[in-house]
């Protein structure tokens, strides 16, 4: 069991932790705002609306987003903070283009209601991950295996089109990202203690941490939308 480092922290370190967490969440919220505005603008601009429905464009966006997440995750400590910041903003913009598709599928009121539900659930689990004394490390491998299983199930269901399997995928997806929100929040807090003496590394990791939380939020939102969303 990992020691509870927070019980030994000085008031100065405690304030530094609060500043780091605040900065991380501001980055995450900023990313969500960029994505939300981009999605809204795309849907309400006829040219961009038709542009985003092109399968080739969607294919390019999908792999561009995967590439950005991989690059940031693997190279975060070897690039400049300014570069990491730009790539995070770019990813948020590209993902906003992709997310605009939900407005073609679901009613606006449904999207709004599910978004606020996601925000409440995310906040509750993130608070739990930040404050709990329980070591959530063991959740990591279990949740990762569940995530792989969900991806495989989604691919299979693309061919068989089972409504029962789709419901199960959505429900399990919600549970996985609820767990990941708490797990990642605790991990982000622990990384602060490991990097607290290296301000530059901590600044870079804050951007990667924001990306991690952003992905947790977006995926939780999408699975809740699949589960409770009313299609237009």
Q: What is the pLDDT of residue 121?
A: 96
Residue 47, burial from CB neighbour count under 10 angstroms (0-12, 13-18, 19+):
exposed
CA distance from start to end of the chain:
49
pTM of the predicted structure, to 2 decimals: 0.90
pLDDT at 47: 74
Q: Which residues of the chain have pLDDT under 50?
A: 8, 232
Rounded CA separation 108/92 (Å): 21
Contact between residue 121 and residue 178 where contact means Cβ atoms under 8 Å apart: yes
**3-class state of residue 231 by DSSP:** strand
Half-sphere exposure of 230 (CA within 13 A, CB side): 6
Residue 27, pLDDT score: 96
The residue whose two tokens read 């399990």 is: 172
Residues 6 or more apart in contact with residue 112 via CB below 8 angstroms = none
Entry field: residues in the chain: 232
Of 215, 222, 227, 149, the closest CA to residue 181 belongs to 215
What's the per-residue H, E or C state across 116-183? HHHHHHHHHHHHHHHHCCCCCCCHHHHHHHHHHHHHHHHHHHHHHCCHHHHHHHHHHHHHHHHHHHHH
Tokens coding 59? 């294919």
- Cα separation, 189 vs 193, in Å, equals 7
Q: Which residues pair with 106 in a beta bridge?
A: 231
């Amino acid at each position: 069991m990992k020691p509870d480092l927070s019980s030994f922290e000085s008031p100065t370190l405690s304030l530094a932790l609060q500043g780091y967490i605040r900065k991380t969440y501001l980055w995450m919220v900023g990313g969500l705002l960029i994505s939300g505005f981009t999605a809204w603008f795309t849907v309400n601009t006829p040219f961009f609306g038709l542009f985003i429905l092109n399968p080739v464009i969607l294919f390019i966006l999908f792999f561009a987003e995967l590439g950005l997440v991989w690059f940031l995750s693997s190279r975060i400590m070897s690039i400049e903070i300014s570069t990491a910041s730009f790539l995070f903003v770019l990813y948020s913009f590209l993902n906003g283009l992709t997310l605009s598709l939900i407005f073609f599928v679901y009613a606006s009121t449904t999207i709004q209601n599910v978004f606020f539900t996601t925000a409440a659930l995310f906040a509750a689990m993130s608070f739990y991950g930040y404050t709990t004394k329980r070591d959530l490390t063991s959740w990591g491998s279990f949740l990762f295996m569940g995530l792989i299983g969900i991806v495989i199930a989604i691919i299979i269901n693309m061919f068989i089109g089972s409504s029962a399997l789709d419901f199960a995928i959505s429900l399990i997806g919600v549970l996985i990202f609820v767990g990941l929100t708490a797990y990642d929040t605790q991990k982000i807090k622990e990384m602060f203690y490991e990097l607290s003496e290296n301000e530059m590394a901590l600044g870079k990791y804050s951007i990667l941490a924001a990306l991690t939380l952003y992905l947790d939020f977006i995926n939780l939102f999408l699975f809740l939308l699949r589960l409770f969303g009313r299609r237009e």
